[in-house]
A and B are shown apart, each in its own frame.
Chain A
């Protein structure tokens, strides 16, 4: 009997303690953050947040998107102001993307990146990018009738580019390497109606020296960077031969293998590129599948090879002139020639200027599908 009374009182205490979710925030009381943009103004940080709005849903199943602009002396302070402005509890675990305004990136990310590294809700795989536009403009961009979603922005950044907090901070923490991130920007559509004539595109790459953005690579430079970082489908090469006419080659797959060579204190990196490309837009007046198909393919491969080599050479020269190591040459040298790297690592930046490189490429072209129509 005594035991029963004890058990019952114990259960009663438990029931009183476990008072359900009375103190918990309901979904409509939370601000599920999907994307964060950071801009630098003269003396403040302006933070734009795209979040799911469960208070005013679009339909029963779909929450609407809410864009909140806040500012503060620091990014953390600005983010703290979200609750004051909306009376909602921000939730960062669903954040997909962090967009840095050009000025904020140029001022230095060390001022605010810590929040995204150490806050218990933020995740290391959040994608990060830079933009020349105002970040709020990006979040306000319309895709047809609807606003652009952070998921769309997230998907625009290629997975293989490793433009996420994890890789960014990892390269930032390494004393010898420098980080890079994707560069997204708003462009006007060439053919569209007047209302929604803007679209978000992957323009290129933002490269950093330590924590500060120092350059934005676009067009061929960005293409070269993407090839060297094994990111396919960024751009295409146009090749013209007598047999085939003008042909567009799209890079489907690239694999870069970098090996260092040291001769008389001179460092040379041999860069082996293994590329698979597809050919499209075959001229209908020319027959690609002529009786000399293998010969034509060989010629195409050679021409593409030359073009890619030139693009990569230019990109590498341009980046090395900036005295930064976004290709992780220091890590490669450390892993292959540890003793030598130990000797030179204190002056790595000086050595970087004089680094030589040689690009060898093995390009295979495939022409799947039918003959030209």
Chain B
């Protein structure tokens, strides 16, 4: 019997919340181009509903067998072909890790401009994440509890410090120009929902009832998009057209906010954000290694974490052109990959699972 990690529902969703928020914090011109941030308010509300729809196949698959995740189902129901699909999931997790690292790389280069090589910093981050992934899910979830609390406190502090600087004159009518920004916003937000794939693997690993997990999904999603909406309101309200000059407006907003004697707390937010990046890369490396484990076993899993980290650190050297991040092709690629992983594969698995269940029940009846 395979040893399962023992983590709570709260720990899973705190991990996923932090992983989602680290990308939300980098929301800005780098990733959305010239798209109008204010119109993304509607995108956020629509994306929330779309995300709930996207979760349904994963949740349905989970309900059919609460002990098996997507990777288990792929191995169990598809045999050798399942191994191929597991590798696709591994590839997805690695691509997302690389995407996160390239955002980190760009952020550090633009906002911190450290005296050491950005690439080197990125590699250090990657190897720390490698260590995190090596330690396993339980260790990561324990770390996530602290990072989650720090992230939530930072968000609350950021919101309360910016609220007094909001100028309502900056709130122009929604969809004033055309619908393109709304569409771009939805595509961007959904494309960054890689945590949904992670959810498909992590959900059966948590202890707790299905009801509790369902409540967790709802709260997590609402939490993510409410934070998004508040962030949009605050950065538009405080910065107006200045937003368009900033690659990372959320970070810029942290340097504007003041709360009593506290101001210029951007470096504090930076520390929390870096911890979040560590958590996300560790988690996704771990999930990729989970895929490897399903095919080749535990021993290879541990070695694979190191190999994947080395591969990713080589890739980091090839990230030269950051403008590629805001290209439509990247967004479309990420969405297609996401839909494949959370809609197409789970639906096929549900069909196969139902067939298997009915077959088994017929045998049982006989």
Contacts and interface: CB of A to CB of B under 8 A. Distances in A.
Contact of A338 (B110, B173, B264): B173
Task: Pick from B110, B113, B169 the residue with the most CB of A within 10 Å.
Answer: B169
A351 interface: no
Nearest to B238: A166
B115 interface: yes
A331 B255 CA distance: 25
B169 A328 contact: yes
Contacts, number: 56
Contacts of B110: 120
Nearest to B114: A120
B176 A338 contact: yes
A174 interface: yes
Interface string B98-125: 0000000000001111010000000000
A124 B172 contact: no
Main secondary structure of the interface of B (DSSP, over half): helix
A281 B245 CA distance: 49
Contacts of A309: none
Interface string A115-143: 00110110111000000000000000000
Nearest to B177: A342
B245 A335 contact: no
A325 B173 CA distance: 20
Contact of B169 (A118, A123, A124, A331): A331
Nearest to A120: B113
Nearest to B245: A117
Nearest to B112: A120
Interface residues of A, number: 24
A123 B110 CA distance: 14
A118 B251 CA distance: 13
Interface string B162-189: 0000000111110010000000000000
B173 A166 contact: no
Nearest to A117: B245
A356 interface: no
A124 B176 CA distance: 27
A123 B255 contact: yes
B241 to A, nearest CB: 4
B10 interface: no
B333 interface: no
Interface string A4-29: 00000000000000000001100000
A14 B242 CA distance: 42
A173 interface: yes
Interface in A284-334: 328, 331-332, 334
A335 B171 contact: yes
For chain B, give the interface size range.
20 to 34
Contacts of B264: 93, 123
Contacts of A244: none
B216 interface: no
B169 A170 contact: no
A171 B113 CA distance: 28
Nearest to B124: A17
A169 B255 contact: no
Contacts of A335: 169, 171-173
B207 interface: no
B45 interface: no
A332 B169 contact: yes
Contacts of A342: 176
Contacts of B171: 335
Interface of A: 23-24, 93, 117-118, 120-121, 123-125, 166-167, 169-171, 173-174, 328, 331-332, 334-335, 338, 342
22 contacts: A23-B115, A117-B242, A117-B245, A124-B239, A124-B242, A124-B252, A124-B255, A166-B239, A166-B256, A170-B239, A170-B240, A171-B241, A174-B240, A174-B241, A332-B169, A334-B172, A334-B173, A334-B176, A335-B169, A335-B172, A335-B173, A338-B176
Given A124-B255, A170-B239, A173-B245, 14 more contacts: A24-B115, A93-B264, A124-B242, A125-B256, A167-B240, A169-B241, A170-B241, A170-B242, A171-B241, A173-B244, A331-B172, A334-B176, A335-B169, A338-B176
